[in-house]
Amino acid sequence: MNHSKAIEVKDLVKFYGKVKALSGVNLEVKRGEIYGFLGPNGAGKTTTIRCMLDLIRPQGGSISILGLNPKAEPEVIKARVGYLPGELHMDENMTAKQILRFFNHLRGNRSDWEFIEELSERLKLELKIPIKNFSKGNKQKVGIVVALMHRPELLLLDEPTGSLDPLMQQEVLRMLVEARDNGATVFMSSHIISEVQAIADRVAIIRKGIIIEVVETSALLKRSMRKVRIRFQQPTEAEEIYKLPGVELIAKDDSMGVSLKFEGEMDTLIKTIAKYPVNDFETEYASLEEIFLAYYEGQEDD
């Protein structure tokens, strides 16, 4: 195994009873990069991460985390890793401060309390309130501080911005970029494509326990499918738009409105639409499921 890699996973296989959750996952994450791990629900993202931390044991394959084997040296690895579970649960009777102190004790008091307070302030986290009185978003903030507070070399984050409001999502993503800039490696799973695109250097896409693709984020951006809705000011036959590469006409609502699927660089599309008088223009990323559906339809056609 190559020690310049933060994570190296080879042919990872995991069964839950007779159900095959991972069917030979292969991953290589370089030190100092932000690596997005995308996949729909049930694709195997959480299972992969939990195998990395020796919380569950795979039936096949090998894992190297920071050059170490998680099964042979789990505590050494965990001392250098920050983890945020996808399903975060903490002792509800403790306050956020008690939780942070407890986990800091488990790490041998390695964390700098000023840094913990700084992280908490940035996330607007009230430390004196018992966890049971927290909203889901506030619990998530505690989890993020727990993961970051000891300035780990590697961050394993399972859907880190789920339950957070958009402003806090941006703050967390900034924190992850700062951690990367300070030398940490960030491995984050998500099923939200835009979140990963915002900060990741590379992205692996997993579906049904198999990595189907590893791409540079810039390439993913170019290829990302979007849904576009246009409302013209007057009845318009905009054939020029529908003939653009990457455009697929889904529906014409009436003579003034159209819905499209678009894959490619937005610049060309926007400039073409601008030739017409437009009343409204909406665009959104397609969900991962829609992307996978399109991807597999293409494969099956082949």
Partner 1 sequence: MFTIIRNTLRKSRGSLTGWGIGLAALGILMGSMFDLIFATDEMMDVVNAYAVAMPELAVMFNMDAMGTPIGWLDVEYFSFVPLMIGLFVTGIGANMLARDEEDGTLDLILAHPVSRTSLFWGRFLANTLVIIVLMLISWASLLLTMTWSENFIIPAFDLLLPFISLFGIIMFFMTLSLLFGMLLPARSMARMLSGMLVGASFFITLLSGVVEDLEPVADFSPLSYLETVNAIRDGLNLNWFGMFIAINLVVTLIAWQLFQRRDIRVGGEGSWRLHNLKTMFVKK
- Shortest separation between residue 17's beta carbon and partner 1, angstroms: 6
105 binds partner 1 (CB under 8 A): yes
Phi/psi of residue 285, nearest 5 degrees:
-70, 140
List the one residue from 13, 20, 26, 55 that touches partner 1 (CB under 8 A): 55
Is the Cα dihedral 26, 186, 148, 91 positive or negative?
negative
Binding residue (CB under 8 A) for partner 1 from 107, 222, 227, 231? 107
**Contacting partner 1 within 13-52 (CB under 8 A):** 17, 46, 50
Pairing of β 202-207 and β 278-285? unpaired
- Per-residue interface string for the shown chain with partner 1, residues 208-247, x marking contact by CB under 8 A: ----------------------------------------
Q: Smallest distance, Å, CB 128 to partner 1? A: 17
- The nearest distance, CB 208 to partner 1, in angstroms, is 19
Question: 171: helix, coil or strand?
Answer: helix
130 binds partner 1 (CB under 8 A): no
Q: Which residues of 232-269 are buried (b: 16+ CB within 10 A; e: fewer)?
A: beeebebeebeeeebbeeeeeeeeeebebbbbbeeeeb
Nearer to partner 1, 161 or 197 (CB): 161
Listed in sequence order, the DSSP H helices in 149-207 are 166-181, 193-199
Is 89 among the residues that bind partner 1 (CB under 8 A)?
yes
Establish if 11 lies at the interface with partner 1 (CB under 8 A): no
Q: How far apart are CA 198 and CA 174, in angstroms?
A: 10
In the bound state with partner 1, the residue whose beta carbon lies nearer, of 145 and 193, is 145
Residue 5 or 50 with smaller CB distance to partner 1:
50
Q: 74 CB contacts (<8 Å, ≥6 apart)?
A: 53, 54
Q: At closest approach, how far in Å is the CB of 78 from partner 1?
A: 4
* Region of 75-83, 207-215, 237-245, 283-291 interacting with partner 1 (CB under 8 A): 75-83
- Of residues 90, 149, 220, 269, which one binds partner 1 by CB under 8 A? 90
Spatial separation of the C-alpha atoms in residues 273 and 262, rounded to whole Å: 13
The pair of three-digit structure tokens given for residue 170, joined into one six-digit string: 């941006």
Written as six digits, the tokens of 84 are: 């945020």
Binding flag, residue 59, partner 1 (CB under 8 A)? yes
Alpha-carbon gap, residue 294 to 302, rounded angstroms: 13
Can you tell me which of 108, 166, 277, 298 binds partner 1, judged by CB under 8 A?
A: 108
Q: Quote the strand ranges of 52-100, DSSP E.
A: 60-65, 81-84
Alpha carbon distances (Å) from 300 to 194, 209, 253, 281? 26, 19, 30, 33
- Binder among 2, 72, 87, 267 for partner 1 (CB under 8 A): 87
Site residues (CB under 8 A) for partner 1, limited to 152-211: none
The residue among 162 and 217 lying less far from partner 1, judged by its C-beta, is 162
Residue 83 pairs in a beta bridge with 156
Question: Which residues of the shown chain bind partner 1 in the complex (CB under 8 A)?
Answer: 17, 46, 50, 53, 55-57, 59, 71, 74-76, 78-79, 81, 83, 85-91, 93, 102-103, 105-108, 143, 146
